[in-house]
Amino acid sequence: MSQQAFSMMLRPRLWTLLAGLLLVCANGCATTPYVYQPPLITHPDLDFPEDEPQVVRGKRRPVIDGIGWVVGIPGKILLWDRRIDNHNVSPETEAAIAEYLEKNGLDQVKVRVNEYDPLGEWKRLRKNKAVGWGWRYTAGTLTAVAYTLLPGRIIGGDNYNPFTNTISLYSDHPAIALHEGGHSKDFGTRKWKGTYAVFTALPGASLWPEAIATNDALGYLETEQNFAGEADAYQVLYPAYATYIAGTASPFLPYSDLLIKAGAVIPGHLAGRWKAREVKQEALARQQSSSEIQQVHFEVPATPVEANANSDDGVGQR
């Protein structure tokens, strides 16, 4: 069978898989009660010294960040959001991930905001004894080498590295930051962290942690009653999840058939905007209901006793 014929045969299967998983996600995301993680200490060696902040921001490098912005254009187009890989993370996004980590007891997670620090990552790889040494010095070493040779400061790609317990942010989008926070929360609660990290890196298996992180970010925003943020999150996290689904089929697709990968994001955009519209309508309904309750509270009619008293007062004044 030719490669082109195999691609044509796989297309309907890919679209069926994509539609089915998006339908499940649309019906299930942010529907269960959100659970805040109590303080989670994975290993004492990962505690931050007093002079080391948990969230650090890279120095401004206009030329390098400009190159990174250009390299990130495909991501901006796929997710239809200019904030993706823009290498200009706002204080609001930084504050969002810091607050999330604090409320979920993730005090040992490092956050690098548009920062390139290979030496720091190698040190954290050595210190992160919550992951077995066998995984740290094999798969973990590969992630550290990739971080060193392929700097996200240029190629972008927001991510969480379970081997160093580090979140790297290059996009100015709170939902993306919370999504990576969801990964850190998920991995932090696993007993066999290295095994879980390696297994979920396999094609297809990666959809599970991505769904967990997506659901956690949406559930967190809903619980915090950040309805504007929740609506915004649906419009970027659903298309992003669609790209993960398409990515599971990429080993079986010819590299020239990029239209399938680009087209796979369309159902994600449609589902995301549909859910965002629902969130906005629910927020508006709650606002109207709250206004009506307040109005009724201030316009309670007088009781018969109060009415008679007012009538008697009026007679006495004549």
Q: What is the pLDDT of residue 6?
A: 39
Question: Domains of the chain: which residue ranges?
Answer: 1-31+225-297, 41-205
Tens of pLDDT along the chain (318 residues) come to 444 443 444 444 444 555 555 554 555 555 568 999 888 777 888 899 988 999 999 999 999 999 999 999 999 999 999 999 999 999 999 999 999 999 999 999 999 999 999 999 999 999 999 999 999 999 999 999 999 999 999 999 999 999 999 999 999 999 999 999 999 999 999 999 999 999 999 988 999 999 999 999 999 999 999 999 999 999 999 999 998 888 776 655 555 445 666 778 899 999 999 999 999 999 898 888 776 666 665 555 555 555 555 555 544 444
d(CA 21, CA 46): 37
Instruction: Give the pLDDT confidence score for residue 11 in this predicted structure.
Output: 47
pLDDT the model gives residue 143: 97
Q: At what angle do helices 174-188 and 207-223 cross, to 10 degrees?
A: 120
Backbone angles phi, psi at 253, to 5 degrees: -110, 145
Sheet of 110-113: strand order equals 55-57, 110-113, 166-169, 159-161
| pLDDT given for residue 4 in this prediction | 46
Strand pairing category for 166-169 and 159-161: antiparallel
> H or E element: which one contains 292?
helix 265-298
Output the six-digit token pair for 146: 């990739």
Are the C-beta atoms of residues 41 and 108 closer than 8 Å to each other? yes
157-170 residue pLDDT tens:
999 999 999 999 99
**The pLDDT of residue 315:** 46
Judge contact between 80 and 239, C-beta under 8 A. yes
Give the chain's mean pLDDT: 85
265/175 Cα distance (integer angstroms): 18
Rounded Cα gap, residues 273 and 263, in angstroms: 16
Per residue in 136-157, pLDDT (tens digit) is: 999 999 999 999 999 999 999 9
Q: What is the pLDDT of residue 72?
A: 95
- Cα 241 to Cα 318: distance, rounded to the nearest angstrom: 76
Q: What six digits make up the tokens of 30?
A: 């942010």
What does the pLDDT read at residue 264?
81
How confident is the model at residue 187, as a pLDDT? 96
**How does pLDDT run across 69-113, given as a tens digit for each residue?**
999 999 999 999 999 999 999 999 999 999 999 999 999 999 999
Q: What's residue 260's pLDDT?
A: 65
Please report where in the chains the tokens 């008679």 appear, as a residue: 308
**pTM for this prediction:** 0.83
